[in-house]
Amino acid sequence: MKKKIIFILSVGRSGSTVLDKFLGSHSDCFSLGEINHFTEEFIKNSICSCGVGQQECPFWSKMMRHINQEFQTDLLRNPDAFSTNCKIGKGSAFIRWLKLIDFLLYYSGNFPFVFRRIKEAMQNNIFLYRKVFDKVQENILIDSSKDVIRALFLEKLLKAEIECKHIFLVRDGRATVNSILKREYRLLKKENDSKKEKCATFKSQVKIDFKSAVFQWKKVNKKIKLLLDVFKRDNYCLIKHEDFCKDPKSTFNNISNYLGVEWEDSMLDLTKKTHHMVGGNASRINAKSIQPSEEIWTTSFSDHDLLLFNKSAGQLNERFGYK
């Protein structure tokens, strides 16, 4: 069976982590999480979705040793080794536009990609995919790194070797902005060698105001939709987070033919498999099942906030089916 990677593309806080975990609960799928931050998260010893730090995780600690042996270097000294979207987003506005134009020419034709460090990071990601495929029984990897340029770039490099699928995940912009503005979250963490879990509170390192959060939601969704419409046309699927949370089985069955994956009842239980997701929000550990989406934003925002959102992003929100 040909190997496959399913890319989940979205704005942050749109539900990509729980969708990744849900798909990864299929017997033939393996959840990677935000694998583009692999070394960065490993250095911080972030909590793997198995409940322990990545440096103690039986899967990723062994994987890092294998990778270091192959590379004959210590990747822990290079936190951006796999972070392709970080490199694309760096630099002045002029440099970022050059990178984007270079990517578009590369993807649409046979033009060489001149930003060497970005391509090296892409090759590192592919190397990691291959290593994971070698170590697991599953034939499908779920990558919720979210970045559309990275996904399309990797698809071009992997075309002859691995089949790539793209899920565009959208969420009501008001709910997404409300989630982006949260200052802390709680995470279930295993206590040492015990199977017991304790709840730890973490503060978000991202400081962003309401206006900037709205702009981020609008900008990223427009970029994803534009690039998928231009390069993938109808060869991708769109999922609304709220529909998925309300009826995960029906939502999955609507895209199962595209993904080439059949429904399994076990997917509804997110605890049946031991997952090893990198990064993502607290649901990579906390989520035990798919819960209906809560519209907390309806009581969180003032009339002025809603007016500002509707003026800036209301039209795009309506195009995705939100009123």
pLDDT of 212: 96
What number is the average pLDDT over the span 13-18? Answer: 96
* 191 pLDDT tier (thresholds 50, 70, 90): low
The more confident residue out of 257 and 84 is 257
pLDDT of 200 strictly over 70: no
pLDDT of 246: 97
Helices (H), 181-319: 210-231, 241-246, 248-259, 283-286, 297-300, 303-319
What number is the average pLDDT over the span 256-266? Answer: 97
The more confident residue out of 106 and 168 is 168
pLDDT of 204 strictly over 70: no
Distance CA 193, CA 270 (A): 22
pLDDT of 187: 62
Contacts of 172 by beta carbon, 8 Å cutoff, 6+ apart: 241, 242, 295, 297, 317, 320, 322
What number is the average pLDDT over the span 195-214? Answer: 73
pLDDT of 87: 54
pLDDT of 288: 94
Distance CA 16, CA 10 (A): 7
Average model confidence (pLDDT) across the chain? 89
Domain of 15 in residue numbering reads as 4-319
pTM strictly above 0.85 = yes
Phi then psi dihedrals of residue 228, to 5 deg: -70, -40
What number is the average pLDDT over the span 131-144? Answer: 97
Distance CA 97, CA 271 (A): 43
What number is the average pLDDT over the span 208-222? Answer: 96
Max mean pLDDT range (62-76, 184-198, 299-313): 299-313
pLDDT of 109 strictly over 90: no
Domain count, the chain: 1
Q: Is the dihedral of CA 288, 290, 293, 294 positive or negative?
A: negative
CATH number where 110 lies: 3.40.50.300
